[in-house]
Amino acid sequence: MGVRITGEMVEFTIRLSELRKATRRLLFNRGAFKQSDCADLLVSPCLATFRAVGSWIDVPVSGKLPGTVRLPLRTLNEIGKILGTYKKPELSLHFEAGRVQVEKFSLRHPDVAMGIIPDQRIDLPADAGARDTLAMASLLSPEQIVTQGLRERVENAQRTTSEAIASAAQALREFGISRRQLQKMVDANIERTAENLGREGAKARQAAS
């Protein structure tokens, strides 16, 4: 399960090239989820881990106020564009709940949150589809889904699956196949996928212990 720590502010300096490298890594192979996924930053005195669903990267920083921050991935991309207007080798970032300060420029967003540490043993590929997303969600509590930054993906997968079942039921109505039958088939497929994910997770935890 993810861990939440107290820390009202996070501040560090970073080279623009390192921030761009981290942002590119997190955006890679993410498709439409670039607009809805979040980025988690775990900042120590000399290193920051940038993480999003399915990818992570460590980059050197100078952590003045270490801690953790979560922000929309699209906001992280905006920060890189803002920093690109400054002609300095290292640039300062300051985070607090609902606000990012980029050098002297302040950017507000309600989804900037402090003190969240997702469990890195729980993850999905960046391009995971609805089946794998719902299978993973079935193994987690609602709180874990939020902590792992999966809420938007799970809600999207639920909508996509419901719409697909409704469409298939309409197309197959003349064959006497009901929406309930289709839902049972989908649920069984998700359950099998969840069992496989559970076994893979148990093997990974055993190997790490």
- pLDDT for 7: 57
Q: What is the pLDDT of residues 70-86, one digit of tens each?
A: 999 999 999 988 888 88
Residue 1's CB is within 10 A of a number of other CB atoms, namely 14
Measured distance CA(29)–CA(96) in Å, rounded: 29
Q: Which two tokens stand for residue 147?
A: 């902590």
From the CB of residue 169, how many other CB atoms can be counted at a distance below 10 Å?
A: 16
State the average pLDDT for the chain. 91
DSSP 3-state of 36: coil
When mean pLDDT is compared across 4-8, 28-32, 156-160, 189-193, the lowest value belongs to 4-8
Would you state the structure tokens that stand for residue 113, as one six-digit string?
Answer: 């949150």
Query: What is the predicted pLDDT for the residue at 83?
Result: 87
161-170 tens-digit pLDDT: 999 999 999 9
Check residue 205 and give its pLDDT. 62
Q: pTM for this structure?
A: 0.87
Q: Could you read off the pLDDT of 18-64 as tens digits, one per residue? A: 999 999 999 999 999 999 999 999 999 999 999 999 999 999 999 99
**Reported confidence tier of residue 2, pLDDT bands at 50, 70, 90:** very low
Of 152, 67, 149, 76, the C-alpha closest to 114 is 67
Token look-up 């564009």 returns 81
Percent of the chain whose pLDDT exceeds 70: 92
Positive or negative torsion for Cα 201, 202, 205, 208: negative
Identify the three-state secondary structure at position 33. Answer: helix
pLDDT category of residue 3 using cuts at 50, 70 and 90: very low
- The answer to whether residue 5 scores a pLDDT higher than 60 is no
Answer for the pair 153, 33: CB distance below 8 angstroms, yes or no. Answer: yes
Chain centroid to CA 149:
4
Domains of the chain plus CATH, in order, are 3-117 (3.10.150.10), 130-208 (no CATH)
Residue 202: C-alpha distances to residues 125, 198, 199, 205 (Å): 18, 6, 5, 5
